[in-house]
Structure 1
Amino acid sequence: MGIVDSSKLPIGNRARAAFIAALEASDDRVERHYLELKSGFDLNSKADRRKVVKFILGASHRDPAKAARHFDGYAVMVLGLTLDGVAGVPKFELMDLERDIDTFAGTDPPGWDVDLVPASGGRDYVIVIVDPPDDKVRPVLQSSDALQSGDVYIRVEGATRRATGSELIAMMARAGTQAQGAILDVSVEPDGVLHSLVIDVAELRELVDWHRDRLKAQLEDTAPRSPFAVLQGSFSTDRRSEREFLDAVEKWRDEALEEPESGIHDLASQMSRPFILKIRNNTATSLKEVRLELAFDAPVTALYWQGQDNTLDLFADRPKNWGTDSYLTPSLTGLRPLVAPNAFEGSIRIATQRPAELVVEMRRLHSEQSLSTPDEDVVLVLFADGPDAIPDTVTATWRLTAGEVNEVLRGSFKLDMSRGEWREPLHWTIAQLRGDVPEEDE
């Protein structure tokens, strides 16, 4: 007897072909509440199509917890297993099956799909896949020879049949619970403004080239000038080869020229006020596993907030100076600071830096509770190459979901802009870095 793996839904041509092979090697004892097998089937027949409708309706009424243990919650019906030496079903029109499902299950039927696995002689095995139960009760909507209007079907172990009274009560109870928890009423408001910073992009690009030239010159300044140059070079303390160093410098330059404002990200994250959201549950029902996604209608940059210090390093992500990336010095690349838990019991993180996309996740939002995101997490900045490029407001759109609630809540709010003029301070800082400051201005 073939071993049929029901731990996950078979996905892809190879997996589904192997699944069919295992079913062909088994028998009808493998049929369960999540799997039905049919031989000698013909979807050109109304009677056979309505058996599929019956299975789809019945599978949708299974207990969700029990259904989740097999095929990721999906139910599977396989048509065309070998009978009298003939495998597969004849060619058919999918629209005929869709029409019958609309007729008997309505325009909001359970989610379903069909996949074909080639058999022989121009025939196919048909795999009907039904979505996991959504706790809706769907009776048959029209009578026929095989189906009776008003009947409610359920898929049980090895059979699809009419639901008993107790089963129908359990379905209605689940549907009622789902309906009670389906109402989302959550307010999302910003605290404060969005920072806009006027910068001179051309001057930042010039600084990129200056850094590139300075880094490349370090190789010439440290090149050995003795007959043993090659031997001395082989014992360089820098973990990078000269070629790796030069390639890294050029790669950094290309990326920095594409986004020159990246050179002041660290400075902006220290000098700007963190972005805070106020989130309130307006209902008497607690929510768990709340997820809030935000996007903006302008090229806003999201940065992780940093505490101010006494160092100022523009384009801090540039390659280390030649000779300083030593095997003798431990590399801290990739390490991130630990974040201590806080009363927020959640997180706000940057999904996309620019254009900014944020994700807020909360383990629980109690009934009529208001929460604010931590005030030392994320900074939002709009870099502008001139005052005229700054809009008066920016609109943020958001999408909120919660665990065990089959509803999506959407909304938006406007953010006022603060304006910071950074061109002159940056000009002076860059001139000082390059040694271009006149003595009387030092």
Structure 2
Amino acid sequence: MGVVETGKLPTGNRARAAFVAALEASDDRVERHYLEVKSGFDLNLKADRRKVVKFILGAAHRDPAKAARHFEGHAVMVLGLPLDDVRGVPKFEVMDLERDIVTFAGAHPPGWDIDLVPADDGRDFVLIIVDPPDGRILPVLQSSDLLVSGDVYIRVEGATRKVTGPELAAMVGRAHAPKHEPLLDVTVESLGPAQAIVIDSTELRELVEWHAKRLEEQVENTPTRSPFAALHASYMSDRRSPQEFLDEVEDWRDSALEVPSSGLHELAAMMTRPFALRIINNATTSLKEVRLDVTFDVPVTALDWEKQSNTINLFPDRPSGWGDDTYLTGISLRGMGPVVTPDAYNGSIRIASEGPAELVVEVRRLHAEQTVTTPDEDVVLVLFVDKPDSIPGKVTATWRLTAGEVNEVLRGSFDVDVARADWRDPLRSVISGITG
């Protein structure tokens, strides 16, 4: 069963595609008050469009505090999951869906949006995204074969149905409740810049091809072993078969050519000034289990900061040479993650996604009127560019903050200054020394 991430709303093509893939690997048990999935759907049919209207109205009537815990308060309906090996829904006109929503939900319906994820044969998965509840009570305004004028719907665990009397009373109570002062009053500020690094991707791709060619030649040039060296060879020969080694080289070549800047990550992590955050609790109330999620408006890369060394290693993730991965050298620490210290989740920045950068800070307790500054040896932010003219003066970070036992979500943004460095000439010299 696929693991479906519901902590934040999937945004961007890659995130939405990964979200749909996880749903495909799952089953209908993933359906909750914030998520509905449908197979065999066709938005060219009136009946199917009105099922979408029903979901939008039902999602808008959920308890806001409960809704805020998933998808940042939104509800998501995913159409086109596989049925009889058919994925996606046929092409349709969005204006037909918009017209039905206005007809049955009014000229000011709940906020909603639509996203498409390519499927097969010109079909798409459709994501209907409904805004967080705003407290309004919205009955159906016109009857049809599926909807009845005057009915009020609510989205509950795994179903969208008419409200009960107690549920309607709770909705009315929330609509007329006095607005309370927010419990969350937190300011987030950036410390340290993001580093824009000017590179020449063409030269880096040429270096990738140079490394790949020489790795492949190692297999071609391996002499046939003497039968009298069989015992020695059983320990000293490469654990990979020649084809496995060549496949490993080809996989690395493809990924490195796609993102040539990946070969500079280790160097950038050592040569870039670390980034830090200041989190200020302005309220007179302490908060516990605080979580801060940060994303950026441009494709910034987040890297774990590293101490400087005297070694320059471009593309350190390339496969080890043929004959270097033997049974005698097979015991290593590769693949073992770093040891997590007890304070790693108490004010330190950790990387949720390297690129596009997503950062997470978790603080066990943020005392009243307290300021927490993250360590300045956690992460660096890097923006790799080929054209100096494309470097922005600032990048904008968007943040989302939650706290335990507080049914609110606080959002904000801050600007991060961008420093500049031109690595083209130094890299050209390093590459020349490598290829010699």
When normalised by structure 2's length, the TM-score is 0.60
Q: What's 2:117 paired with?
A: none
Deviation at 1:193, TM superposition (A): 1.3
Q: What is the match of residue 381 of structure 1?
A: 382
Residue equivalent to 1:86: none
- Residues 77-112 of structure 1: per-residue CA shift (max 9 Å, x gap): xxxxxxxxxxxxxxx97744x94558xxxxxxx863
TM-superposed CA distance for 1:258, in Å, is 0.2
1:197 aligns with 2:241: no
Letter in 2 for 1:221: N
Give the residue type in structure 1 aligned to 2:296: F
CA–CA distance in structure 2, aligned partners of residues 285 and 359 of structure 1: 23
Aligned pairs for 1:102-181 (under 5 A) are: 112=156, 115=159
* 1:371 match: 372
Give the whole-Å Cα distance in 2 for the aligned partners of 1:353 and 1:276: 16
Match of 1:310 in 2: 310
Is the CA contact (8 Å cut-off) linking 1:114 and 1:129 kept in structure 2?
no
Identity of aligned residues (%): 55
Whether the aligned pair in 2 keeps the contact of 1:344 and 1:374 (CA below 8 Å) is: no
- Pair 1:267–1:332, CA change in 2 (3 A): same
- CA apart distance, 1:341: 3.6
Correspondence for 2:293? 293
Cross-structure match for 2:266: 266
CA deviation string 1:293-328 (max 9, x = no partner)? 111111111111111122221000000011111111
Gapped runs of 5+ residues in structure 2?
1-25, 32-60, 67-143
Q: Which runs of 4+ in 1 moved over 2 A?
A: 11-16, 92-96, 98-102, 110-116, 127-130, 136-141, 220-223, 225-237, 339-347
Residues 198, 387 of structure 1: 8 Å contact kept: yes
Residue 246 (structure 1) aligns with? 246
Provide the residue aligned with 1:350 in structure 2.
Answer: 351
Code of the aligned partner of 2:388: P
Q: Residue in 1 aligned with 2:434?
A: 433
- Shift in Å, 1:416: 1.4
Evaluate the alpha carbon distance shift between residue 94 and residue 388 of structure 1 in structure 2; reply closer, same or farther with a 3 A threshold.
same
Name the CA distance, whole Å, in 1 between partners of 2:422 and 2:27.
56
Q: Which residue of 2 aligns with 1:69?
A: none
CA distance in 1, matches of 2:221, 2:350: 43
Q: Where do 5+ consecutive residues of structure 1 fail to align?
A: 1-10, 17-56, 65-91, 103-109, 117-126, 142-149, 151-174, 437-442
Instruction: Tell me, in whole angstroms, the C-alpha distance in 1 between the residues paired with 2:185 and 2:412.
Output: 11
Whole-Å Cα distance in 2 between the matches of residues 14 and 405 of structure 1?
A: 27
**Offset at residue 224 of structure 1 (A):** 1.5
Q: Name the CA shift for 1:260/1:12 in 2 (closer, same or farther; >3 Å).
A: closer
Find the residue that maps to 1:401 and give its secondary structure: strand
Aligned residues: 302
Matches within 5 A, 1:38-77: none
Contact 2:345 2:362 in 1 (8 A): no
In structure 2, distance between residues paired with 1:254 and 1:99: 58
Is the 2:236–2:328 Cα contact (8 Å) retained in structure 1?
Answer: no
Secondary structure of the corresponding residue to residue 346 of structure 1? coil
Query: Helix, strand or coil for the counterpart of 1:302?
Result: strand
Check the 8 A contact 2:305/2:377 in 1, yes or no.
Answer: yes
Aligned-partner SS, 2:407: coil
Shift of 1:235: 6.8
User: One-letter code of the match for 1:361?
Assistant: E
- Deviations 1:319-342 (CA, angstroms, capped at 9, x unpaired): 001111111121322212224344
Over aligned residue pairs, what C-alpha RMSD do you find? Answer: 3.9
* 8 Å Cα contact 2:347-2:373 kept in structure 1: no
Do the aligned partners of 1:195 and 1:380 also contact (CA within 8 Å) in 2?
Answer: yes
Larger Rg over CA atoms: 1
Mark the CA change 1:406 to 1:244 in structure 2 (over 3 Å): closer, same or farther. Answer: same
Aligned to 1:331: 332
Structure 2 distance, partners of 1:384, 1:242, is 37
AA paired with 1:401? T
Q: What letter corresponds to residue 242 of structure 1 in structure 2? A: P
Match of 2:362 in 1: 361
Measure how far apart 1:353 and its partner are: 1.3
- Post-superposition offset of 1:374: 1.4
Cα pair distance change 1:416/1:95, threshold 3 Å? same
Specify the SS of the correspondent of 2:243. Answer: helix
Instruction: Name the CA shift for 1:268/1:312 in 2 (closer, same or farther; >3 Å).
Output: same
Q: Deviations over 1:395-438 (max 9, x none)?
A: 1111111111111111111111110010111111111111x3xx
Do the aligned partners of residues 257 and 228 (structure 1) sit closer, same or farther apart at CA in structure 2, a change above 3 Å counting?
farther
AA in 1 matched with 2:248? A
The aligned runs of 1:383-422 (5 Å cut-off) are: 383-422=384-423
**Alpha-carbon displacement from aligned partner over 1:35-61 (angstroms, at most 9, x marks no partner):** xxxxxxxxxxxxxxxxxxxxxx9xx9x
Q: C-alpha separation between the residues in 2 aligned to 1:394 and 1:406?
A: 30
1:215·1:249 contact (CA, 8 Å) conserved in 2?
yes
Instruction: Report the 3-state secondary structure (helix = DSSP H, G, I; strand = E; otherwise coil) of the residue aligned with 1:334.
Output: coil
Q: Is the 8 A contact 1:112 1:128 kept in 2?
A: no
The one-letter code sitting in structure 1 at the alignment partner of 2:271 is M
Q: Aligned with 1:424: secondary structure? A: helix
Given that 2:238 and 2:324 are in contact with CA atoms closer than 8 Å, whether structure 1 keeps it comes out as yes
The answer as to whether partners of 1:281 and 1:370 remain within 8 angstroms in 2 is yes
1:114 deviation in Å? Answer: 6.8
Change (3 A) 1:94 1:270: same
Alignment of 1:9-48 (within 5 A): none
Q: 1 CA distance for matches of 2:340 and 2:229?
A: 48
Q: Which amino acid aligns with 2:390?
A: A
